[in-house]
Structure 1
Amino acid sequence: MTGSESVGKTTLGIQLAARYGVTCVAEFVRDYAAAKGAPLDFRDHGPIAKGQMAREDAHIAAAVARGDHLLLQDTDLVSTVVYCHHYFGRCPEFIEQAALARRPTHYLLLDIDVPWIADGIRDREVQRDEVQALFRTTLARFDAPVTVVQGTWDERLATATALIDSFIDTHRHG
Structure 2
Amino acid sequence: MNRNIKKIAVVGPESTGKSTITAQLAAHYHTLWVPEYARYYCAALTEPCNLQDETNMFHGQVALEEAITAIATKELIFCDTTFLTVKIWSDEVFGETPQVVLDALPDYHYDLYLLMDIDLPWQEDPLRDFPHKREYFMQVWHQELQALNADYVLVGGQENRLENAIAAVDRFLKNI
Equivalences for 1:141-160 in 2 at 5 Å? Answer: 141-154=147-160, 156-160=161-165
Segments of 5+ residues of structure 2 without an aligned counterpart are 1-9
Contact residue 23 and residue 59 of structure 1 kept, 8 A: yes
Query: CA 1:10–1:153 in structure 2 vs 1: closer, same or farther (change >3 Å)?
Result: farther
Q: 41, 50, 58: which is aligned to 2:59?
A: 50
After TM superposition, the score normalised by the length of structure 2 is 0.90
One-letter code aligned to 1:75: T
Residue 12 (structure 2) pairs with residue 3 (structure 1): yes
Q: Deviations over 1:18-69 (max 9, x none)?
A: 1111111000001000111332111211111000000000011111xx2x11
Q: 140, 147, 157: which is aligned to 1:134?
A: 140
Query: By percentage of residues, which structure has more helix?
Result: 1
Query: By percentage of residues, which structure has more strand?
Result: 2
Equivalent residue, structure 2, for 1:166: 171
Q: Deviations over 1:78-124 (max 9, x none)?
A: 11111111111211222023133113001000011111101111111
One-letter code aligned to 1:4: P
Contact residue 110 and residue 149 of structure 1 kept, 8 A: yes
Equivalent residue, structure 2, for 1:107: 113
Contact residue 42 and residue 84 of structure 1 kept, 8 A: yes
Segments of 5+ residues of structure 1 without an aligned counterpart are none
One-letter code aligned to 1:124: F
Counterpart CA distance in 2 for 1:153 and 1:29 is 28
RMSD: 1.3
One-letter code aligned to 1:157: L
Residue 99 (structure 2) pairs with residue 93 (structure 1): yes
Query: CA 1:51–1:153 in structure 2 vs 1: closer, same or farther (change >3 Å)?
Result: farther
Deviation (angstroms), 1:163: 1.9
Deviation (angstroms), 1:159: 1.8
Counterpart CA distance in 2 for 1:69 and 1:165 is 14
After TM superposition, the score normalised by the length of structure 1 is 0.91
Query: What is the number of residues matched between the two proteins?
Result: 167
Counterpart CA distance in 2 for 1:21 and 1:37 is 37
Equivalent residue, structure 2, for 1:59: 68
One-letter code aligned to 1:12: I
Counterpart CA distance in 1 for 2:106 and 2:36 is 18
Equivalent residue, structure 1, for 2:123: 117
Percent same amino acid at aligned positions?
33
Contact residue 52 and residue 76 of structure 1 kept, 8 A: yes
Counterpart CA distance in 2 for 1:153 and 1:23 is 24
